[in-house]
Amino acid sequence: MLTNIGKHNWQLENTYARLPAVFFSLQRPVPVAKPEIVCFNERLANDLGLGFLNHEKENSVGYFSGNKIPDGAEPLAQAYAGHQFGHFTMLGDGRAVLLGEQIAPTGKRFDVQLKGSGQTPYSRRGDGRATLYSMLREYLISESIHHLGIPTTRSLSVVSTGEQVFRGEMHKGAVLTRTADSHIRVGTFEYARNFGSTEDLQALTTYTIQRHYPEIIHTDNPALELLKAVMHKQIDLVVHWMRVGFIHGVMNTDNMSIGGETIDYGPCAFMNSYNPRTVFSSIDTRGRYAFGNQSYIAQWNLAVFAGALLPIISENQEKAVGLAQEVIAGFRDRFTEKWYAMMYGKLGILHPDDKDKDLVDGLLSLMETHRADYTQVFLALQQNKELDGSLFRLEEFRGWVEKWKNTHQKDEHKAASLALMHKLNPKVIPRNHWVEDVLEAAVEGNMTPFNQLLNTLSKPYDDHPDGLQFQRIPEGFDAGYQTFCGT
Ligand code: AMP
Ligand code: MG
């Protein structure tokens, strides 16, 4: 039998480079001094058809540092704009290059992008580089989000550069290789609308639809259908985040992917005790991107997206505005419905009726008042356990549990109810103190704790020792915990 030659080669193509030239700048990664692989995602490499690299360390270190360009790549930096904390600005890949799309054995395309790969025409005053700490943080959390069953960009490798990066003080530098369905953002459309022609906007729209939503190509108003499709994906995404307690932290329009993946892992973090106002990002002083605000911000971002699409929704501006507004107006009801459906699932409620909304709201309100751990409470209910802390001693909470059990945990559907809870309630999430501990060791050269945590997080719904699932979260840790953008 003949062997498949393709199995031992990259299958790269860069269709983005066929867009009008305003959308990118051809840019090779800037070589680094002394690249060394710090972590490599063998399973993902296999899925992408890059499994041969598992045995080619020399080549991998070259490709994933940017020192060597794979066949078929057309490295480029993407142009985009965006609203950052509500303010419009020109951005673009200031420290990343897209090599192209790797065509996996399934036929699916994945963008392969190097992040921290040196300066580009969009770097402004930045050095184009990234720290080992922040690239490992993105690797760990994005892989965790993936294994939680949430759409996300993924991490293929982290290579240390042997160079220092200055962020107030010196840090070790690194390059992350990230894969994605695409890197097209709401901000890419804002860029087209503000800095390109209507033809450019149309070209981007057609390209995006072909790549992400081919089923809408032949509809009467593809641009309007695109708005709807992206809205639906974003709603699903934010509902997923709310399910596991994820706070994205910097939902600027340039960090919202048109394909509906979680993208940009700068200041993200997971919530421990339940409080919708939870914010960890050092620069989010007003809590714009707080846990409980995420759906409102998604809607805001989608309104910006709609604004960018107006000229191709209809040539008649008034009509375009009317059509777009109608779509955006549907956000809240759809989100609320999906969010309650998710919360019902977390509580194993198989046949909800309207009264169950009060049951959900009541639980969250008690959890908030008593600062109960978001992940552990659902697990405790699922496993019929009591947690330490004031919530489980409270008469009102006991009453709530009684009511929930009597209504939704009856013998005849208990097994199905628990099976649903099991699917939706993670047993482990990347707790902030774990993440910081393993990263501290990793930048000092000890990858063992990092790899152990990564391994645990790759099976978030499995049973782990109780000590892990119900461990005490260090008192006061969150109060002083801060996360950072773009480090
Ligand atoms: P982010 O906070 O990662 O979403 O980045 C916002 C913008 O700043 C993007 O255009 C990035 O490419 C750019 N950027 C972030 N860090 C750097 C850096 N070290 N050098 C150049 N550009 C950067
Ligand atoms: Mg970004």
Provide the residue-wise pLDDT of the chain in tens; the chain has 487 residues: 344 444 679 999 999 999 999 999 999 999 999 999 999 999 999 999 999 999 999 999 999 999 999 999 999 999 999 999 999 999 999 999 999 999 999 999 999 999 999 999 999 999 999 999 999 999 999 999 999 999 999 999 999 999 999 999 999 999 999 999 999 999 999 999 999 999 999 999 999 999 999 999 999 999 999 999 999 999 999 999 999 999 999 999 999 999 999 999 999 999 999 999 999 999 999 999 999 999 999 999 999 999 999 999 999 999 999 999 999 999 999 999 999 999 999 999 999 999 999 999 999 999 999 999 999 999 999 999 999 888 999 999 999 999 999 999 999 999 999 999 999 999 999 999 999 999 999 999 999 999 999 999 999 999 999 889 988 888 888 888 999 987 7
Number of domains observed in the structure of the chain: 2
Specify whether 327 is located in the same domain as 358: yes
Closest residue by Cα to atom 2, ligand 1, is 486
User: Does the beta carbon of 307 lie inside 6 Å of ligand 1?
Assistant: no
Close Cβ partners of 208 (under 8 Å, ≥ 6 residues apart) = 182, 184, 226, 258
User: How far apart are the C-alpha atoms of 444 and 133, rounded to whole Å?
Assistant: 10
- The one-character DSSP state at 28 is P
Which residues on neighbouring strands pair with residue 155, listed in sequence order? Answer: 178
The pTM (predicted TM-score) of the whole model is: 0.97
Specify whether 179 is located in the same domain as 252: no
Specify whether 402 is located in the same domain as 283: yes
Residue 4 domain flag: no
Specify whether 238 is located in the same domain as 95: no
Domain housing 226 = 184-487
Closest ligand to 486 CA? 1
Residue 458 domain flag: yes
Domain boundary among 154, 183, 212: 183
Question: How far away, in angstroms, is 370 Cα from ligand 2 center?
Answer: 35
Domain boundary among 135, 151, 183: 183
User: Does the beta carbon of 118 lie inside 6 Å of ligand 1?
Assistant: no
Check: CB of residue 425 under 8 Å from CB of residue 378.
yes
Closest ligand to 255 CA? 2
Question: How far away, in angstroms, is 38 Cα from ligand 2 center?
Answer: 23
Residue 5 domain flag: no
The beta-strand segments (E) located in 116-153 are: 130-131
The confidence score (pLDDT) of residue 8 equals 77
Specify whether 404 is located in the same domain as 308: yes
User: How far apart are the C-alpha atoms of 249 and 456, rounded to whole Å?
Assistant: 24
Specify whether 165 is located in the same domain as 306: no
Specify whether 202 is located in the same domain as 105: no
Residue 7 domain flag: no
Residue 163 domain flag: yes
The confidence score (pLDDT) of residue 7 equals 62
Closest residue by Cα to atom 5, ligand 1, is 486
User: How far apart are the C-alpha atoms of 455 and 161, rounded to whole Å?
Assistant: 25
User: Does the beta carbon of 91 lie inside 6 Å of ligand 1?
Assistant: yes
Closest Cα to residue 263, out of 272, 276, 254?
254
User: How far apart are the C-alpha atoms of 466 and 426, rounded to whole Å?
Assistant: 13
Question: How far away, in angstroms, is 345 Cα from ligand 1 center?
Answer: 38
Query: Of residues 254, 264, 356, 478, which has the active-site annotation?
Result: 254
Place of tokens 């010196």: 170
Specify whether 198 is located in the same domain as 319: yes
Which tokens in the block code for residue 436?
């910081």
What is the phi/psi pair of residue 101, to 5°?
-110, 125
Specify whether 102 is located in the same domain as 194: no
Closest Cα to residue 91, out of 311, 252, 331, 235?
252
Residue 216 domain flag: yes
Closest residue by Cα to atom 16, ligand 1, is 486
Q: Which amino acid is at 70?
A: P
User: How far apart are the C-alpha atoms of 110 and 28, rounded to whole Å?
Assistant: 19
Closest Cα to residue 15, out of 115, 109, 105?
109
Active site residue 333: no
Close Cβ partners of 286 (under 8 Å, ≥ 6 residues apart) = none
Ligand 1 pocket test: pick from 90, 91, 132, 171 the residue with the most ligand atoms within 8 Å of its Cβ: 91
User: Does the beta carbon of 94 lie inside 6 Å of ligand 1?
Assistant: yes
Check: CB of residue 95 under 8 Å from CB of residue 126.
yes
Specify whether 369 is located in the same domain as 353: yes
Check: CB of residue 272 under 8 Å from CB of residue 478.
yes
Domain boundary among 183, 207, 234: 183
Residue 2 domain flag: no
416-454 b/e (C-beta count within 10 Å ≥ 16 → b): ebeebbbebbbbbbbbbebbeebbeebbeeebeebeebb
User: Does the beta carbon of 487 lie inside 6 Å of ligand 1?
Assistant: no
Question: How far away, in angstroms, is 145 Cα from ligand 2 center?
Answer: 17
Which tokens in the block code for residue 355?
């009264």
Specify whether 312 is located in the same domain as 460: yes
Specify whether 44 is located in the same domain as 121: yes
Close Cβ partners of 294 (under 8 Å, ≥ 6 residues apart) = 238, 241, 242, 247, 248, 251
User: Does the beta carbon of 399 lie inside 6 Å of ligand 1?
Assistant: no
Residue 3 domain flag: no
Closest Cα to residue 150, out of 424, 427, 417?
424
Helix, strand, coil % over all residues of the chain, rounded to 5:
50, 15, 35
The confidence score (pLDDT) of residue 295 equals 98
Close Cβ partners of 47 (under 8 Å, ≥ 6 residues apart) = 104
